[in-house]
Chain A
């Protein structure tokens, strides 16, 4: 059954809901970001017990629960792209225009990968195992985007 409807008085109402948020990077997160921002250095935390080095920083070793919060080590700003995905959809909250590569980069000296954007290589040609280096942002924002992106060495 089709219903005859009068659409003369149909409205679309626009609304906007604002969600004010505060995000605290934490003590370790702050030191990590400040090192990137001020010294262009990427720092990790090393567990002396397991010998594993974590980045981004975490307070406790995930394997043996040793507190590693003070055991900062400097990592290289270069590393290996161990995995990646190509982001092919665009949305306003996303940092770049699609398509762009979101990679997992294991920095020299680290055992865990850091997720960041890889540029300077065509998404069709990118493959795991290539060497990439960090390019630091000229304008800093106190976020992980103080590393602007990684690019092939």
Chain B
């Protein structure tokens, strides 16, 4: 019989007497005809009279039935299990009722307990079960010109040693490990079965060290495509869902202009260039064209630092993605607010602090700049600041 949603039409009728509630049906006198078309369908008649139920299969016409239900087998099972809404099925004409549908929809739930599909026990699959199906899952068209021997050393319960030989468009499985092998994979048997039935992601298993690979790494990665996916006997294959991972890149160009440009020119020479307001005397860092307080043009550049003092800081534990790469940032990281020597007192700049120095970071700590090996006049020239060891030891 053809199964829909894991059950058959015949199952549903076969369990009807068990699900019948005679005490609820004392007043009922009705004969209901069922016609389920398509594979696994058929005709049935249920006669309910004074608390008794008779279910019979019918050949030919459904005669003597006050109400008849016509549908395809799949919809019938779907509606019975609640997988398809009865109203949806009625309105889409997939389910047709000759007689009074409303009466039926009220009556049936009253006199029958709902049908539940028999639960299937999950089949315990062993590594051996999977390995022995390898030859029949082989796809010669994907392995043209491929010659390799793949050894599996599966440890733990249900494990064993096997060698898969692919040559001349043929595939064979042998017990034991051959010598030489193109690649040998060692893992726990349960890791292997997990990967094959899909409970363990192969990529995770490979990258997390659950699988030890000796020999040709590329060959190990390529093996999957030579075989059709293993399907647990009796299980319905999980529906394939498509999910795409894409990393889009936005390229940006930032023109510094002449004033901010002096800051980057300074970084190239490993100097911090601020500009001093002619009115209030504060040192703007990074420099700006106009003093934001006095609203006057600023022309005079002064060198500050290179050492400075930490006024306050943040330590960040939240693993946010780095917007430049999408990779998760290494945590914790610290952002220190540094006032460089020679700056006016409130002109703090935010700087990344060397990771190793985070535990010793305090307000008032002295820091020195950490420069890139090659400085080109870019924000990459200054890596950050580090605690100034010389002054620390004083």
Contacts and interface: CB of A to CB of B under 8 A. Distances in A.
Interface residues of A, number: 38
B258 A13 contact: no
Contacts of A67: 85, 88
B379 A17 contact: no
Interface string A4-42: 011111111111111111111111011101100000000
A15 B248 CA distance: 14
Interface stretch (B129-137, B144-152, B235-243, B345-353): B235-243
A63 to B, nearest CB: 13
Interface in B246-285: 246-258, 261-262, 264-265
Given A13-B254, A30-B240, A20 B94 contact: no
Contacts of B326: 18-20
A49 interface: yes
Nearest to B245: A22
Contacts of A15: 251-254, 324
A48 B249 contact: no
A18 B253 CA distance: 14
A85 interface: no
A21 B258 contact: no
A128 interface: no
Chain A interface helix/strand/loop/mixed: mixed
Nearest to A61: B92
Given A11-B378, A16-B250, A25 B243 contact: yes
A23 B241 contact: no
Interface residues of B, number: 39
Given A12-B254, A13-B379, A14-B253, A19 B240 contact: no
A9 B258 contact: yes
B244 interface: yes
A16 B249 contact: yes
Contacts of B246: 20-23
B325 interface: yes
A18 B324 contact: yes
B247 A30 contact: no
B244 A25 contact: yes
Contacts of A13: 253-254, 256, 264, 378-379
10 contacts: A5-B258, A9-B264, A13-B256, A15-B324, A17-B249, A17-B323, A19-B248, A25-B244, A26-B241, A93-B248
